[in-house]
């Protein structure tokens, strides 16, 4: 009779350990994002940061951006080398556009409609050589 009681407790402990093990695996899998899909916003953010960082660290592209004459509300020619870099790095599931603004201005883009989710990230381009005329390069992306 005492022997049967010990076997019952051992089975209860085994069941509790099995439940805890399964719960731990589920929590790990859910926290890593294997269930529920990927975080699209995080992927877009990573893409934007990498492209802007590449532009920021390239002195030729930085010079192209700082050489743009920005007028209040006026049109300007966007540097073609910067456009080519952005287009070559943009994944097929995104549509991206960039804009150059003064550092103190609010930089927004009118070409996307108000019903879309637009992801925006910016970088400051401050100096090239002896000139100091800081610019803001802002990258706007939306899902295609």
- Do 49 and 26 lie in a common domain? no
User: Crossing angle of helices 80-89/40-57, nearest 10°?
Assistant: 150
Please give the Cα distance from 39 to 46 (Å, whole number): 11
Question: Where in the sequence is the domain holding 12, given as residue range(s)?
Answer: 1-37
Of all helices (H) and strands (E), which one includes residue 123? Answer: strand 118-128
Confidence of residue 87 (pLDDT cuts 50, 70, 90): very high
Contacts of 107 (CB under 8 A, 6+ apart): 99, 101, 122, 136, 138
Confidence of residue 3 (pLDDT cuts 50, 70, 90): low
- Do 63 and 126 lie in a common domain? yes
Residue 123 pLDDT: 94
- Do 27 and 45 lie in a common domain? no
Of all helices (H) and strands (E), which one includes residue 95? Answer: strand 94-102
- Do 29 and 60 lie in a common domain? no
Q: Based on the structure, what is the number of domains in the chain? A: 2
Residue 74 pLDDT: 63
Residues in the chain: 144
């Amino acid at each position: 009779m005492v022997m049967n009681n010990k076997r019952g407790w051992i089975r209860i402990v085994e069941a509790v350990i099995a439940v805890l093990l399964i719960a731990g695996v589920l929590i790990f899998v859910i926290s890593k994002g294997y269930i529920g899909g990927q975080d699209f916003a995080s992927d877009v953010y990573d893409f934007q940061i990498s492209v802007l960082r590449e532009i920021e660290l390239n002195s030729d592209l930085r010079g192209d951006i700082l050489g743009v004459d920005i007028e209040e509300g006026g049109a300007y020619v966007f540097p073609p080398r910067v456009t080519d870099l952005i287009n070559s790095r943009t994944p097929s599931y995104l549509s991206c556009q960039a804009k150059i603004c003064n550092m103190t201005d609010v930089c927004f883009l009118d070409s996307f409609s108000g019903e879309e989710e637009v992801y925006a990230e910016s970088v400051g381009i401050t100096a090239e050589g002896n000139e100091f005329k800081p610019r803001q390069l802002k990258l706007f992306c939306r899902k295609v």
